Amino acid sequence: MSETSADLPDTAPEKKDFIRQIIRDDLAQGRHTAIRTRFPPEPNGYLHIGHAKSICLNFGIAQEFGGICNLRFDDTNPVKEDPEYVAAIQEDIRWLGFEWNELRHASDYFEVYYLAAEKLIADGKAFVCDLSAEQVREYRGTLTEPGRDSPWRNRSVEENLDLFRRMQAGEFPDGARTLRAKIDMHSGNINMRDPALYRIKHVPHQNTGNAWCIYPMYDIAHALGDAIEGITHSLCTLEFEDHRPLYDWCVDNVDFTHHPQLLQPLLDKGLPLEAGCPHQYEFSRLNINYTVMSKRKLIALVSEELVDGWNDPRMPTLQGLRRRGYTPSAMRLFSERVGISKQNSLIDFSVLEGALRDDLDTVAQRRMAVIEPLKLVLTNLADTHEEMLVFSNHPKDPACGERQIPFSRELWIEREDFAEIPPKGWKRLIPGGEVRLRGAGIIRCDEVVKNENGEIVELHGTLDPQSRPGMEGANRKVKGTIHWVSAKHAIAAEIRLYDRLFSVANPDDESSGKTYRDYLNPESKRSVRGYVEPSATQAAPETSFQFERLGYFVADRYDHDPAAPVFNRSVTLRDTWSK
Q: Which H helix or E strand runs over 462? A: strand 456-463
Strand locations in 295-368 (E)? 365-367
User: Residues 441, 467: contact at Cβ < 8 Å?
Assistant: yes
User: Residues 444, 462: contact at Cβ < 8 Å?
Assistant: yes
Distances in Å between the Cα of 502 and the Cα atoms of 288, 304, 571, 576 are: 12, 16, 15, 15
Provide the minimum distance between the beta carbon of 219 and Mg ion in the complex, in angstroms, as a whole number. 11
Strand locations in 320-381 (E)? 365-367, 369-370, 373-378
The residue among 50 and 276 lying less far from ligand ATP, judged by its C-beta, is 50
Q: Coil, helix or strand for 493?
A: strand
Binder of ligand ATP out of 32, 119, 153, 285 (CB under 6 A): 285
Q: Does 291 sit near ligand ATP (CB under 6 A)?
A: no
Binder of ligand ATP out of 19, 23, 35, 41 (CB under 6 A): 41
Q: How many residues bind Mg ion (CB under 5 A)?
A: 1
Binding flags for ligand ATP, 193-232, as an x/- string (CB under 6 A): ----------------------------------------
The residue among 118 and 353 lying less far from ligand ATP, judged by its C-beta, is 353
Binder of ligand ATP out of 271, 293, 400, 448 (CB under 6 A): 293
Question: DSSP characters for 22-72?
Answer: HHHHHHHTTS-SS-EEEE---SSS--BHHHHHHHHHHHHHHHHTT-EEEEE
Provide the minimum distance between the beta carbon of 321 and ligand ATP in the complex, in angstroms, as a whole number. 14
How far apart are the C-alpha atoms of 558 and 561, rounded to whole Å?
9
Strand partners, 388: 406
Q: Does 50 sit near ligand ATP (CB under 6 A)?
A: yes
How far apart are the C-alpha atoms of 576 and 579, rounded to whole Å?
8
Query: Active site includes 427?
Result: no
How far apart are the C-alpha atoms of 178 and 200, rounded to whole Å?
7
User: Residues 325, 509: contact at Cβ < 8 Å?
Assistant: no
Provide the minimum distance between the beta carbon of 213 and ligand ATP in the complex, in angstroms, as a whole number. 23
> Is the C-alpha dihedral spanning 427, 429, 432, 437 positive or negative?
positive
Binder of ligand ATP out of 20, 36, 37, 53 (CB under 6 A): 53
The residue number whose beta carbon is nearest to Mg ion equals 42
Binder of ligand ATP out of 251, 286, 333, 459 (CB under 6 A): 286
User: Residues 545, 559: contact at Cβ < 8 Å?
Assistant: no
- In the range 225-264, which residues lie near ligand ATP by CB under 6 A? 236-237
Cβ contacts of 439 within 8 Å, gap of 6 or more: 389, 391, 405, 469
The residue among 231 and 413 lying less far from ligand ATP, judged by its C-beta, is 231
Q: Does 42 sit near ligand ATP (CB under 6 A)?
A: yes
Catalytic residue among 15, 119, 148, 285: 285
> Is the C-alpha dihedral spanning 504, 507, 510, 514 positive or negative?
positive
Only one of the segments 38-46, 87-95, 452-460, 529-537 lies at the binding site for Mg ion (rule: CB under 5 A); that segment is: 38-46
Q: Which does 17 bind (CB under 5 to 8 A by kind): ligand ATP, Mg ion, none?
A: none
Q: How far is the first Cα of the chain from the last one, in angstroms, to the nearest whole number?
A: 45
Query: Active site includes 285?
Result: yes
Q: Which does 333 bind (CB under 5 to 8 A by kind): Mg ion, ligand ATP, none?
A: none
Q: How far is CA 486 from the centre of its chain?
A: 38
The DSSP bridge pattern shows strands 369-370 and 525-532 to be antiparallel
Q: Which does 237 bind (CB under 5 to 8 A by kind): ligand ATP, Mg ion, none?
A: ligand ATP
Binder of ligand ATP out of 20, 222, 243, 295 (CB under 6 A): 295
Query: Active site includes 386?
Result: no
Q: Which does 323 bind (CB under 5 to 8 A by kind): ligand ATP, Mg ion, none?
A: none
The residue number whose beta carbon is nearest to ligand ATP equals 50
Q: Which does 187 bind (CB under 5 to 8 A by kind): ligand ATP, Mg ion, none?
A: none
Q: Does 36 sit near ligand ATP (CB under 6 A)?
A: no
The residue among 63 and 345 lying less far from ligand ATP, judged by its C-beta, is 345
Residues that bind Mg ion (CB under 5 A): 42
Footprint of ligand ATP (CB under 6 A): 40-42, 50-51, 53-54, 74, 236-237, 285-286, 293-295
Q: Return the active site residues.
A: 42, 285, 295
